[in-house]
């Protein structure tokens, strides 16, 4: 199974009910580094249900040969997978497709006008790369998963930076965040497996700058950002390939899906 059928099956499975493990309790943050405490207390209201599922809609630009506009919908399930469904371009260059991480396997598939294959990638390297992506996007769009209650652990770096370690499909993935004095997330970076130079797979700095935040159902997510490879190096501008704005979000798990 691949392409549209795979994305549909994965979406249906990842969209199954997400039973929250409990509610956010600020007291559980007392042993975390100061940046982590500022971030999580800013990102969530006390009593918010800790759900593992988020659905979002976005638009933006993706760098192919040139910067190309797109619209997309995504479902993300913490520690498990995601589906990103996108349409983009215009005229003869209009494309349809998406990215999937489901049951530990990743798949990238795009077609011109939904019919002519233009890109397809899968295999162990793509699987491993998608795990890093899921961890980074969890930080951006599911901060409830960054709590000790949800299994995240934190390590201090300095007064504005800390690293959160997330369990993702049997791997522990480190994501370093930069937090402002008021608790706002400013930047995230991780060492992600990938092949940005289309030469050889390996770990490379991958990250995002945060331009805007939005409050959704008592949770603050990144609503506008810039994403790319070689983050934090002198090649950051060269590596930027994705610019997004979130225009709709649903943190699923409340109120219609009960706390377990």
* pLDDT at 58 > cutoff 90: yes
**Per DSSP, which regions of the chain are E strands?**
53-63, 67-77, 81-88, 95-102, 105-112, 116-122, 153-156, 161-168, 171-179, 185-194, 202-216, 219-229, 240-252
Q: Which two tokens stand for residue 163?
A: 């690293």
Q: Residue 254: pLDDT band by 50, 70, 90 thresholds?
A: very low
- For the residues 33-38, what does the mean pLDDT come to? 98
pLDDT of residue 256: 46
Q: Where are the alpha helices (DSSP H) in 2-86?
A: 3-14, 34-43
Average pLDDT in the chain = 91
Q: Which two tokens stand for residue 223?
A: 């609503």
Residue 7 phi/psi, 5° resolution? -60, -40
Of 146, 154, 173, 149, the residue nearest 32 (C-alpha): 154
Pairing, β 67-77 against β 81-88: antiparallel
For 219: left if phi > 0, alpha if psi spans -120 to 50, otherwise beta; the answer is beta
- The percentage of the chain sitting over the pLDDT mark of 70, rounded to a whole number, equals 93
The CB density around residue 30, as the number of other CB atoms within 10 Å, is 8
- The percentage of the chain sitting over the pLDDT mark of 90, rounded to a whole number, equals 79
Q: Residue 258: pLDDT band by 50, 70, 90 thresholds?
A: very low
Q: Residue 260: pLDDT band by 50, 70, 90 thresholds?
A: very low
pLDDT of residue 138: 98
Please name the residue that has the structure tokens 């370690």. 165
Residue 12 phi/psi, 5° resolution? -60, -40
* pLDDT at 110 > cutoff 90: no
* pLDDT at 193 > cutoff 90: yes
114-134 residue pLDDT tens: 566 567 899 999 999 999 999
Of the two residues 78 and 252, the one the predictor is more confident about is 78
* pLDDT at 234 > cutoff 50: yes
* pTM, 2 dp: 0.93
pLDDT of residue 190: 98
């Amino acid at each position: 199974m691949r392409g549209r059928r795979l994305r549909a099956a994965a979406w249906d499975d990842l969209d199954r009910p997400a039973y929250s493990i409990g509610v956010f309790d600020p007291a559980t943050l007392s042993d975390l580094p100061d940046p982590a405490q500022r971030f999580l207390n800013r990102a969530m209201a006390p009593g918010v249900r800790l759900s593992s599922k988020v659905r979002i809609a976005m638009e933006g630009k993706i760098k192919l040969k040139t910067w190309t506009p797109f619209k997309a919908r995504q479902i993300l399930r913490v520690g498990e997978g995601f589906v990103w469904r996108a349409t983009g371009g215009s005229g003869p260059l209009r494309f349809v497709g998406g990215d999937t991480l489901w049951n530990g396997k990743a798949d990238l598939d795009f077609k011109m006008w939904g019919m002519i294959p233009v890109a397809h990638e899968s295999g162990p390297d793509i699987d491993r790369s998608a795990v890093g992506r899921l961890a980074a996007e969890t930080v951006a769009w599911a901060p409830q998963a960054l709590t000790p209650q949800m299994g995240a652990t934190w390590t201090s770096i300095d007064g504005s930076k800390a690293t959160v370690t997330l369990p993702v499909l049997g791997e522990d993935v480190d994501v370093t965040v930069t937090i402002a004095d008021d608790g706002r997330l400013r930047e995230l970076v991780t060492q992600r497996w990938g092949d940005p130079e289309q030469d050889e797979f390996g770990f490379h700095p991958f990250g995002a700058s945060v331009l805007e935040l939005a409050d959704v159902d008592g949770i603050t997510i990144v609503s506008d950002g810039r994403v790319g490879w070689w983050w934090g190096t002198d090649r950051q501008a060269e590596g930027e390939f994705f610019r997004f704005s979130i225009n709709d979000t649903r943190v699923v798990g409340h109120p219609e899906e009960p706390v377990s």
